[in-house]
Every structure is written in C-alpha cells, then in structure tokens.
Amino acid sequence: MYCKAGDNLKENPDQKTAAKAAFNADLVKLDFPVFQANPDLIYFDNASTTQKPASVIETIENYYRKNCANAGRASYLWSSQLEAALEDTRAAVAAFLSVPEKSDQVVFTGGATDSLNTVTMAWALANLQDGDEVLLCPKDHKSAVLPWYHCKELLAAMGKHIKIRHFDIHEVGDYDLKSIKSQVSDKTRVLVMAHVHHVYGLDMEVSEIREIVGTDVIISLDASQSVGHTKVDANALPVDFISFSGHKMFAAPGTGVLYAGDRVKGQLQPLRLGGKSKAVIENDSLKINSNSVCEILESGTQNIPGILSLKPAIEYINKIGLENIEAHVSKLTVDLWQKLMPLPNIEFAPGIGICACDKGWGIISFRFKGISSSDLGFALDEEKIFVRTGDHCVWNKAEAEPDFLRVSMHAYNSPDDVEQFVQVLADIVDS
C-alpha cells in the first residue's frame, strides 16, 4: 500500500489527510522495474515520458509472448478476445475521463500529436469556413500549434481562408487573459490551449478562458501534461476536444486518446479509411455507415499492445490515487523551488519560480547566468540525473524560452531525489 487511502477517501476527509501524509514515493518506485535496474537514477524528465510500472510491462509482454494476433479480424478466440480487451480499455479510459457512458467518443490515436492533428484534419477541415479565426498561443507545444498552420494551408487550397491569431503568455506563466480578450471576436471559431503548460508548469485556467470566449467557440484542450497528475474530467472541463498521450501517464509510447465532446461528435469526417472502417462504396460514392466517433476515426491495425497498456496504467493511477499523486507532486514542486531559490545566479522561467504559488504540477524550468543548460544537462547525466534541455518543442526560437533546463516530476520522485538533485546542481554550478 502506498497510503492508507483508496475508496474511503471521498467519504472521510480526515483519512484523506492521513493518506497524503503516508504517501511514500520509495514504495511507488518499487513498482517500476527501471528503478531496480538503475537504483541511482533520478528521473526528472516525466513531462517528456514516464517510466512504466510492472503491470504495464507485463500487459505488453503478454501480448507478444502469449496471444499475439490481430483484433476482431477473425473467428478464432484470440482475435475476438483481443477485440473485447480493446473495448474494455476504451471503457476504462471513458471512466477515467468521468464519461463512462460515452466510450464511443473516446478515440485511440498514436499519441497527443496524432490526437491534435486529428482535431484539425477530421473536424476543422470539414467545419471551418472562409473568414473564420483560430486563437492559439505560439508558446504552446508545437504539436498543438503546427497542425493549425497545416490546416490553414489545406483550407486555402480549397478556397477557404482562415486567420490564426496569437495570444500571449502572462509574465508569471499562465495565459495572458487580456490578450485573449483583445484577440477574440465574432469570427473566432476555435481556441487551442494547454491544460497544464509543458514548460511553465501552471494550470492554464480553462474555465476563465471559456468565460472570456463565450459558449460558441470550440475549445481544443491539450491535456498531455495534466493527465495522470490531476483529474481530466470530460464532463466538468468546458471544452470540446481533449487530447493526450498514453506514455506520459505510465502507458506505452505510440498510443494516445482523443475525446470528442457532444457538440462536435456529429461533425467529424473520417481521416483515414481502411480495414475496420464502417464504410461502403455505393454508386461510386463513399458511404460511412456509423455515427460512432471511434468507428469514424479509427481504421487499420492499431497499436494493440500500446492501447492495451492504457488500462493497467489507469488501474495503477487509481490504485495510488490521483489525488495523492497530485498532492505529492505539488509538495515536491514547492519544495524544489524553495531549495533552488537560494542558488547563486539562478533565473527561473515563468511558472512557479516567478508566480510563487503554493501549488505545483511537477514542472520547473530555470537556468543559471553564464552557464549553458545543455552543458549542465550533460553534467547531470554523468550523475545519473535526467532532465530536459533544448527548445522544449516550441515551434521557433523567438517563442522558445532561451536555454532553460526543465525538471519534471511524478509519483515515484521523492524528497530525497529533490535534495540530492539540488546538492549535485549546487556543486556543478559552483565548480
């Protein structure tokens, strides 16, 4: 047990406090074979990808070792069992998103990038009109930004000219609400945003943004950095599309999810057709025989073991307790920020280091005056500490935070990891 928590948390708030106190990251670590193989590893690159618990690895291994087949394509048992297991996984994802009755609106994709591109290719191409406007932040991950420029070009080739307008990041690291207010107009059809930012690590205030843009605007939410850290509740979030990757929430790479909300579910066009598609050709024309979002958008042989890994990943998160992960990671983030602050010549990127909030999402970006963060990254690697450096997947140099190092933490990171990291960092920058 990681904590004395579990199902009773909701009933008894005192127990919730006890659970937080008892959360033990070292016990969590025991569930991740990579830490047994590398006991000295301090893995601080979780915003890039997470390590995998044994249950996820077993699921993937079992597929290859024990019942490797295609799903639902044949009459033998393995095939139908795999199809049932995929649908079971879809139901688990729908429940994880608090929409158990809407599993047909949960689409399996190849990752967040694929999900975000599906929004533009399957929805925007078919629904945007000449003169429509899209609002996005150029400092968001380029997987959220670039698909809209691609879509703009494709629409232009079809004779429809849309405009992409930018809104800014506020100096503390969340979106500048004033700039959203100044950009929104009656031509705005779509707003694209992150739930938690991948460099600044703040909750980007989706409800406030919905209030500003009004109810008519379609919001596409990139939940890549919030999923597995906090509840991503498709009922409560005032958005139309939710995209995320499996590999950032303990599941396999090459697997992701797109959730299409009620307003847009009838507006989607197939993106790729093939095996599995419920499509026929009648009188030389294509006819799609399904209203189900996942049947419209999924086709061909998918990443079966990757998709199957989503279920044990969700079960693992539920076993530890999402609220416990959120509280633990927040505490670690505040702790790390307070320990980093006294280091000489440190400069924080926007985020907790600037806004000084008492809640964190595991992400802190910073640099040291006069020291290259890439060099620092290499020096940390020698000490078996993995952090992110580079352009942080922001689409051009002008928008990227110059040369910041990003630490990103998760459930298995401990206060000792933080302590050791700051000590090693202090020694490196001192030398």
Ligand X SMILES: Cc1ncc(COP(=O)(O)O)c(C=O)c1O
Would you tell me which residues interact with ligand X (CB under 6 A)? 47-48, 111-113, 141, 143-144, 194, 198, 222, 224-225, 245, 247, 393
Which residues, including other chains, have CB under 8 Å from residue 399's CB and lie 6 or more apart? Answer: 138, 139
Which residue, 19 or 47, has its beta carbon nearer to ligand X? Answer: 47
Which residue, 102 or 139, has its beta carbon nearer to ligand X? Answer: 139
Please provide residue 254's backbone torsions phi and psi, each rounded to the nearest 5 degrees. 80, 15
Cβ 401 vs Cβ 394: under 8 Å: yes
Residue with tokens 């060099």: 375
Query: What does each C-alpha distance from 139 to 114, 144, 219, 393, 394 come to in angstroms?
Result: 19, 10, 17, 9, 6
Q: Please state the closest distance from residue 380 (CB atom) to ligand X, in A.
A: 19
How many other CB atoms sit within 10 Å of the CB of residue 68? 12
Q: Please state the closest distance from residue 245 (CB atom) to ligand X, in A.
A: 3
Which residue, 112 or 327, has its beta carbon nearer to ligand X? Answer: 112
Burial 193-216 (b: 16+ CB within 10 A, else e): bbbbbbbbbbbbbbeebbebbeee
Q: Please state the closest distance from residue 202 (CB atom) to ligand X, in A.
A: 12
**Closest to 301 (Cα-Cα) out of 120, 96, 68, 143:** 68
Q: Please state the closest distance from residue 392 (CB atom) to ligand X, in A.
A: 8
Which residue, 144 or 364, has its beta carbon nearer to ligand X? Answer: 144
Which residue, 194 or 260, has its beta carbon nearer to ligand X? Answer: 194
- 3-state class of 272 per DSSP? coil
Q: Please state the closest distance from residue 121 (CB atom) to ligand X, in A.
A: 15
**Closest to 202 (Cα-Cα) out of 337, 29, 19, 341:** 337
Helix residue spans in 201-321 (DSSP H): 206-213, 293-297, 304-308, 310-320
Q: Please state the closest distance from residue 229 (CB atom) to ligand X, in A.
A: 12
Which residue, 133 or 222, has its beta carbon nearer to ligand X? Answer: 222
Q: Please state the closest distance from residue 106 (CB atom) to ligand X, in A.
A: 17
Tokens of 182: 């100044």
Cα–Cα dist 108/123, whole Å? 16
Tokens of 110: 């190849």
Which residue, 2 or 259, has its beta carbon nearer to ligand X? Answer: 259
Which residue, 225 or 414, has its beta carbon nearer to ligand X? Answer: 225
Q: Which residues pair with 191 in a beta bridge?
A: 135, 219
> Over the Cα atoms of the chain, what is R_g?
22
Per the rule left: phi > 0, alpha: psi between -120 and 50, beta: everything else, 79 is: alpha
Residue with tokens 């985020």: 351
Q: Please state the closest distance from residue 9 (CB atom) to ligand X, in A.
A: 28
Which residue, 194 or 340, has its beta carbon nearer to ligand X? Answer: 194
Q: Please state the closest distance from residue 329 (CB atom) to ligand X, in A.
A: 16
